[in-house]
Structure 1
Amino acid sequence: MLLKYRAAIVAVATLFLCILIVFFYYSQQKDEPLPPMTVKEKKARFIALILPAVDTVYAKLQMRYEDIKTMIDNGQSHDRIEKLKEEYKVTSDEALLTALKPHPKSIAIAQAAMESSWATSRFFRKANNVFGVWSFNEDEPRIAALQKRGDKTIWVKKYSTIEEAVFDYYRTLGRGRAFSEFRQLNATTDDPLALVTKLDQYSEKGSEYGEELADIIEYNNFDRFDEH
């Protein structure tokens, strides 16, 4: 009897969360202000929106990494390898594997929380821009920030889906010159708390950025989402 009662509570709670997410989604599409939320509700909504995309992208990237590693280990040459080297701006097999290895999901989730204010920011709601990625290409989909730097307009990328934003984020860290130390360390460890110390170039906060990410990961136990 007790088990049935608990199961009923879980079912009702799950249904309520689903209804809440649908409501928030349509509010976002209509550009309406979000209703008041408790911290717990905000975080639950964030995880429900972001985690599926991170899980999907990470699984695809991990599979790609393993496929390419197998080809390289077996001494195979393939057009796919050469195209990826060009895309990730590397020349050696070792550098390619370093670029392709996806970093822990806990870091992606923590950065998404910081950069999107737990999926409540205007950039996220209007452009699915989870990671605050700027745009410097006027031909790509983008939106303008409300604030300027002097007389200069700041543009951020607009994505069709959250999954697209997550993939672009992983790609940026995989090939950006500013994140070479991050990639080198990621090739040797899966410790998110060590890795975030190498993300000081991601934000104007510098070293404080990594410290804040570490706090978010630890406080919210985001490392539970990592592959072991």
Structure 2
Amino acid sequence: MEDVNHKKQSFFTFLRPFVQQENARVSQERSFLLAIQTQLKVGQAISPNDLSEARQLGDAYNHELTSDAVTESWLDAMLLRVDMIPEELVLSQAANESGWGTSRFAVEGHNYFGQWCYTQGCGLVPSARGEGAKHEVAVFSDAAQSVHAYFMNVNRNRAYAELRDIRANERAAGQPVTGLKLAEGLHRYSERGQEYVDEIQGMIRHNKQFWQQG
């Protein structure tokens, strides 16, 4: 596509439904955890079904429920992880990491976020991979799976604890959770550190018209 704005709009239009789908899933999971938190505060017993669902969520977010009861400390830790990610941040990272969907990894592997895997044969071997390096770029069955993997990566990987803390602090202060603010917690997403953060924030600002359209 020669028209830049048309190219951007097409890319965002393609990926946005998958981002909305993930945020809807996370929102539902978060509502479940908040409901349990309310039950605990009023001394109401947690049903076996809810306990089972809580255990499954803990496993999914790498924060296992090790006891036979839900605790406030476990819920606090889970609510840091189980939360939405603003569309403008997700879409800006996807555009940046995939070259607006034109990279080899996006075209051949539906990987829009540059996510790695570490088992031989798990993905595509980068042509510029350094000597001795064993990582590959993950391959996904479709764009929906790629977006899901991104959400789980950001929401549970220790590397992005800063982003999750920023999100929780904004919520606690009654402030809207924005992509610009959360981008400050992405220093470890790229070896470029602050330069990468600045670039993503610049993309969010520059493409503001598309967030308003979305």
Fold shared, TM-score > 0.5 on shorter chain: yes
Structure 2 match to 1:130 = 112
How is 1:34-113 mapped onto 2 (pairs within 5 angstroms)? 36-75=1-40, 76=46, 78-90=51-63, 92-113=74-95
The answer (yes or no) to whether the contact 1:196–1:213 under 8 Å persists in 2 is yes
Q: Distance in 2 between matches of 1:70 and 1:84?
A: 14
Q: In angstroms, what is the RMSD of aligned CA positions?
A: 2.0
Distance 2:102 2:160 in 1: 27
The Cα shift of 1:137 comes to 2.2
SS of residue in 2 equivalent to 1:200: coil
Which digits, 9 at most, give the CA deviation of each residue in 1:62-87, with x for residues without a partner?
Answer: 12211222123222351121222233
With normalisation by structure 1, the TM-score equals: 0.76
CA shift in 2, pair 1:49/1:42, >3 Å: same
Aligned to 1:6: none
What is the identity percentage for the equivalent residue pairs of Structure 1 and Structure 2? 26
- What is the alpha-carbon distance in structure 1 between the residues aligned to residue 125 and residue 192 of structure 2? 22
Distance in structure 1 (CA, Å) of the matches to 2:195 and 2:155: 22
Q: Does 1:120 align with 2:93?
A: no
Worse-matched range after superposition: 95-104 or 37-46: 37-46
Q: Which amino acid aligns with 1:214?
A: Q
**Secondary structure at the residue paired with 1:159?**
coil
Residues 71-125 of structure 1: per-residue CA shift (max 9 Å, x gap):
2322235112122223323361101011011221111011001001111111001
Aligned residue in 2 for 1:32: none
SS of 1:146 mapped into structure 2: coil
Q: Equivalents in 1 of 2:101, 2:166: separation in Å?
A: 29
For residues 220 and 207 of structure 1, do their structure 2 counterparts lie closer, same or farther at Cα, with a shift above 3 Å needed? same
2:148 corresponds to 1:175: no
Matched, 1:224 2:206: no
Aligned mates of 1:99, 1:78 — CA distance in 2: 18
CA contact (8 A) 2:33 2:75 kept: no
Q: 1:194 aligns with which of 181, 184, 188?
A: 181
Task: Report how far residue 139 of structure 1 moved.
Answer: 6.2
Which ranges of structure 1 fall in alignment gaps of 5 or more residues?
A: 1-35
Residue of structure 1 equivalent to 2:165: 184
Consecutive unaligned residues of structure 2, counting only runs of 5 or more, are: 41-45, 66-73, 171-176
The list of structure 1 runs, each at least 4 consecutive aligned residues, that deviate by more than 3 angstroms after superposition, is 151-154, 222-226
Secondary structure of residue in 2 paired with 1:102: coil
Q: When the two structures are superposed, what TM-score results if normalisation uses the length of structure 2? A: 0.81
* Cα separation, 1, equivalents of 2:60 and 2:22: 18
* Corresponding residue SS for 1:188: helix
Asked whether the 8 Å contact 1:112–1:118 carries over to 2, the reply is yes
Deviation at 1:145? Answer: 1.7
Corresponding residue of 1:23:
none
The aligned counterpart of 2:190 is 203
Number of corresponding residues: 190
